[in-house]
Amino acid sequence: MKGKVEASKREELIEQGKQLKERLAGLEEQLTKISELLYFEGQRIPNTTHPSVPIGPEENAVVRKQVGVKREFTFPVKDHMELGLALDLFDFEAAAEVSGNKFYYLKNEAVLLELALINWSVAQLTRKGFVPLSTPDIVRSNVVEKCGFQPRGQNTQIYSIEGTDLCLAGTAEIPVGGLYMDQIVSNSVLPLKLVAFSHCFRTEAGAAGSATRGLYRVHQFSKVEMFIICCPEHSEAFHEELISIEEELFDSLGLHFKILDMATEDLGAPAHRKFDIEAWMPGLDRYGEISSASNCTDYQSRRLNIRYRPVSEALAVKKVKGSLPPLQFVHTLNATACAVPRMIISILENYQQEDGSIIIPEVLQPYMGGLGFIRARKL
C-alpha cells in the first residue's frame, strides 16, 4: 500500500484489511472466552498434598495430641445458650429481626469477654514478634479467588456485593495475602509474621441442625489470625511453630482439646497440610473446632504473585550482572489465634458453676478490668 498501487487493487486491499480487522476482533473475543474458561478450570485445581496427610474424608483425620482433661461436673451441665440467655449475654431473637438468622447481639460481660479475648491474643502474639494488623472487611473478588476461595457458585461461603466485584472477607488471610500482592519481598525481611484482627462474614451454606445452634456457626464474627510469609525451605518448621503457639494459647485458657492432622478431603484448595484443634464443649457434649493451621506452600503466592530473591545481602549489594538467582515464590501459612464465638462457647461451658455463674479464666481477668466472675443480675 505504500508504493504505487492501482485504484482497483487498492480498494481490494482495503477490503481485505477490513475483513482481517473483523476476523481479528472475533478471534480476540474467542480468546477472551477461552482464557476465562482456562482460568476457571485452573482455579479448581487444588494444592499438592503433604505425603503424611491421611487419605479420605474428615473422619479419617489422625489425632496428633490431646491436651488437658475433660472437666468433671457434679451438677447438670448447661450449654452456652442456656447459660448466656440466663446471664443476659446475648440476644438472637432481636438479631434475627434486625439482620436475619445466625446473627446475634453480644451484651454486658460477653462484650467485655470478646474484647478481652482479642486484646489478650494480640498481646500474646506481638510479644512473640508478630506485627499487628487490622484489615478491611471488603475485598475484591479476584483477591478472594487468588487466595483459593470461590466467591461465586451455589455453595460458596463468601458474601458478594451485588453489582460490584467486591466481597465480604470470610477470613483475614484474604486481605492480608492481598496486602503483598504483586510485590517482591526483600529477602532480608523474611519471615514476615503478622497477626490480624478482622471481622469475618460467611454464608454458611448448607449449615443447619442442633450441632450448629447458637454461637457455634454464625454469619459474622470477630477473629484474630496469624499469617506467615517465608522462604519455601522454612514453611514446615513455621507450620509446627504455629501449632505450638495455638496449643500454648488454648492451654493457658485451661481448655481440654485435641490436635488433628486433617485428611485430604477436608483440606480445601489452598492447604498443603492442615491441623485442626477441637476443644471439648461439655454443654454441647462434643468436641468443636476452635482453630486450624494451614501450610499453603506457594499455592496462594503464585496466584497473588508474591516473590522474593533468595540471595545473600552481600551479593545483593554488589549487584554483579548475572550473579543474582531468579525470583521465587514465597510460602504462606495461616492459623487461628482466636475465633471469638467458639472461644466464648468454650469458656462459658467449661467454666460454668452450679449457681449458673461463669469463672473468667485467670489470664483474661486483667483484660476485663479484673472481673473474675460473670453472675446473674439482681432484679
Catalytic residue (choose from 114, 145, 217, 301): 217
Residue in the block written with cell 492481598: 178
Residue in the block written with cell 483459593: 148
Catalytic residue (choose from 235, 342, 346, 349): 342
Q: How many CB atoms lie within 10 A of CB 226?
A: 28
Instruction: Give yes or no: 289 in active site.
Output: yes
DSSP state letter for 248: H
How far apart CA 82 and CA 77 sit, in angstroms, is 10
Instruction: Give yes or no: 141 in active site.
Output: no
Sign of CA dihedral 277, 281, 284, 285: positive
Report the DSSP pairing between strands 131-134 and 373-374: unpaired
Instruction: Give yes or no: 307 in active site.
Output: no
Catalytic residue (choose from 198, 235, 292, 294): 292
Question: Helices 235-252 and 109-127 meet at what angle, rounded to 10?
Answer: 140
How far apart CA 180 and CA 177 sit, in angstroms, is 6
**What value, to the nearest 5°, has the Cα angle with vertex 290 and ends 286 and 294?**
125
Instruction: Give yes or no: 202 in active site.
Output: yes
Instruction: Give yes or no: 292 in active site.
Output: yes
Catalytic residue (choose from 145, 202, 222, 225): 202
Nearby residues of 203 by Cβ (< 8 Å), 6 or more positions away: 156, 157, 158, 159, 219
Decide: 148 and 296 in contact? Cβ < 8 Å: yes
Question: Helices 109-127 and 340-350 meet at what angle, rounded to 10?
Answer: 110
How far apart CA 245 and CA 220 sit, in angstroms, is 25
Catalytic residue (choose from 289, 302, 309, 357): 289
Pick the closest to residue 69 from 254, 246, 243, 248 (CA basis). 254
Catalytic residues: 202, 217, 289, 292, 342
